[in-house]
Amino acid sequence: MEKFSCLTAVAAPIDMDDVNTDQILPARFMRKPREGRAYGQYLLHDLRFSAQDEPRPDFVLNRPEYRQAQIFVASHNYGCGSSRLGAVYAHYDFGVRAIIAVSFGDVFFNNCLKNGILPIRLDAESTANLRQQLHTQVGARLSIDLPDQAITDTVGRKYRFDVDSFAKHCLLEGLSDIALTLQRVGLIEAFERRYREQMSWLHPDR
């Protein structure tokens, strides 16, 4: 998993409430291979494109200034709906490393933390203010400092946020669940050796 510490990047305002995982990654794309971060092209596909697969010019991510956005500033209940890990992959493959919203779907929120994306909960007034700034200054950048747990907006104002200490450690160190397990590989192997010795009757051929 890629480490996350500090990020200054273009931020895109997503003004909709209740953006669900089927909007984020429509189910028909889940059968597609993910090689080369391919899921990024399907992020919010049916909002970005018409039924004829033409870009909708009024959708924020189709504006040239936002196509390199690495931060989303959303509203209420982002990532709600079905448990769909591909919804997180779609953001990551697009290049998104942080999502700021009033609230998130719980499963989506936890999947983000486990896959290198920082989800940040801020109050409604703060998220609305950030989105307004991004609409006013198209292509503007926000800064996120995970060690300090602070967001800096386009005028230098800071917003503090909370993050679980263990999740913060994993993001800072780039530790996935598998990487965490491998840190204990010596203990695991020692246990396996002791188990085979104590339960040798289970392994008569060894």
Position 205 scores a pLDDT of 64
| Residue 161, token pair as written in the block | 């946020």
Residue 81 CA to residue 87 CA, distance in Å, equals: 11
Amino acid at 123: D
**Quick one: average pLDDT of 153-177?**
96
pTM for this model (two decimals): 0.89
Higher pLDDT, 176 or 184: 176
Task: Name the H helices within 45-203.
Answer: 45-48, 85-94, 106-113, 124-136, 165-173, 177-182, 185-198
Position 194 scores a pLDDT of 83
Residue 31 CA to residue 65 CA, distance in Å, equals: 31
- Give CATH for domain 6-175: 3.20.19.10
| Percent of the chain predicted with pLDDT > 90 | 80
Q: Output DSSP code: residue 4.
A: -
Residue 206 CA to residue 204 CA, distance in Å, equals: 6
Q: Are 61 and 42 in contact (CB under 8 A)?
A: no
Question: How sure is the predictor about 203, in pLDDT bands with cuts at 50, 70 and 90?
Answer: low
Whether the pLDDT of residue 50 is over 70: the answer is yes
Residue 179 CA to residue 101 CA, distance in Å, equals: 28
Whether the pLDDT of residue 131 is over 60: the answer is yes
